[in-house]
Amino acid sequence: MYEVLVPVDQDEERAAHQAEYVASLPGTEEIRATVLYVTPREEYSDAPREFDEVDSAVAVAETLEAAGVTVNRATDGGTITRQIVEQADDLDADEIVMGGRKRSGVAKVLVGSSTQDVIFSTDRPVVVTG
């Protein structure tokens, strides 16, 4: 089984690009995708958001299932980068599929980026869709 981690945020357009990429991989019946939503630490209280409360995550899961991909639905809470990297390690993911934002070079430096943080925090392949 080819393990793919698909961490999504609440942006449905970015999530759709992630789903399209995974669904376009050859041999979808041999792919297991874990769609992950991480409730950011600053929003996290007693428990992470339920998967079904995150429209973008549900849409990705449904798109992938329709394409024949086996899907695991997961949520977590805390530091986004840490949770994504830990989940990828736990799954022994073959790749992480991140949704990229279009930012200028200066904005990346000033604002930071979860995608950049994940790339620098793991030695697993990271695909950035946009």
pLDDT, tens digit (0-9, with 9 covering 90-100), for 1-11: 999 999 999 99
Element containing residue 78 per DSSP (H, E): strand 70-78
Two structure tokens written together for 51: 């998967």
List of residues 6+ apart from 16 with CB closer than 8 A: 59, 60, 63
Q: Indicate if the pLDDT at residue 37 is higher than 60.
A: yes
Please state the rounded mean pLDDT for residues 40-63.
86
- Mean pLDDT, rounded, of the chain: 89
From 68, 34, 67, 36, select the one nearest 49 (Cα to Cα).
Answer: 36
- Please, which pLDDT band fits residue 46 given cuts at 50, 70 and 90? low
Helices (H), 1-130: 12-24, 55-66, 80-91, 105-111, 114-121
Q: Indicate if the pLDDT at residue 86 is higher than 70.
A: yes
Predicted TM-score (pTM) of the model is 0.90
